[in-house]
Structure 1
């Protein structure tokens, strides 16, 4: 017989739910409601309250070519950082799952980068990828001007993509390794007895059974790339050079706190939220069809 926990009084369940309801309202619904309100008003320059302008802020943003440039850069950043983090995480997980030399060390240390704060990580990569010091300085002496993220927008974008991906490689690694170890060994051993090499086993057996994990990490990584890249961009490039790394989340900060356009920044945050929700829905609508749960 199935045993279920029950409350003797109806108010006990509500008492347990109230703290969580207060937290959700305080840190999600209230800020989101305030952002919606600010996005439809215009703050007067010297105080005195807000003026209701409706959708004017959104019209101004959506007709601004600089904003659309930030959207394109955000998609480029999301695409390459997600592919890089997931690809490297999967490769490392496969090596550890095969118990190659050093796999136990990898298993312990690979998650550490995810625990590093984004500003600290960005500061470290800013020094490591500096063109005037270290290995890259030597490379620049051989090929002058080959690498300079301070002047070249492409180099700057590569730098922030590498730094962001490095942080999330460990996160992806843990999930991929867990999924690989959850695959019955009898399947891969039977394929090995039939003469299938490890690449064939990975392609035909393991990867199809990893699709739920791949789908989960794809949703998480894309979402994080749109909203968790601010610290890295701010420390490494400050959106430069010439706005080459001004992603959507950084433009919200720059316009709101430096340009003092709070209403426009609020409207941009609403657009970013809608974009993330839309991307998540599209992934569930079209990509989840290829996921094998059994």
Structure 2
């Protein structure tokens, strides 16, 4: 079977768990910005965690199925319409050939996910079906979907888990307007002034509309850098360095003004100092934020970060049980 894209939405792309092992060559991991929400969608339709889904940004697509199938929508809250009739998100939706699926206005957050039984079966590129638009890799010719595209769907995998008709309430992700994001300081937090460091870790920051899969910019009181003589090869601004590798989740503060959190499609290195790094367990939160969301960056220890990662792994294990 296949999905016919009638209207594409704002920036709808094919994504899966990501493309790993190539970051050192400058190719980011990509994948769904909210891995947990994407996993829930796959679980509802009977897929494994590996199948590719559609990631929708703010304005979703309108699509038609050409065979009986099962579909699910998870992620940020949005009205799901099947042939114009409202259906419920986070549930298993049985569709008949010719059914059309569309979406209402997003009610919060930024990203939601569409899974179909069998997964979006575009070719793998470097081990992943994820779309990386800057590099023109993966997905549908390395780009967002367009009207008229026909997306192939794979054969549904053999069921190995009990059928899930809806996501249990205790497994639903939280959505809101205020977020606590845990960070580990470094590598260059020592270059911030004392007040700059306090601002980063104690002040409230607001997500600006300048946010995408590469990075998200936050407005607030600023976090100034110490005025020091720059090393040879660095830029003139104190926020510049002579270049370093960037971890996913790195926080840059160009000019000491607006922090930028690098996300799954970000470059792997450059000349801005990283004041801190968001822990892996909290990276999904950024797909649940809309412009104007309030964020506090809270430092944690390595032990706390590892505990949070273990908790996240256990939560995923409950999804796949």
Rg comparison, structure with higher value: 1
Q: TM over 0.5, yes or no?
A: no
TM-score tier by shorter-chain length is: under 0.3
Q: Which has a greater percent of helix?
A: 1
More RCO (CA 8 Å, sep 6+) = 1
Q: TM-score, normalised by structure 1?
A: 0.19
By percentage of residues, which structure has more strand?
2
TM-score by structure 2 length? 0.18
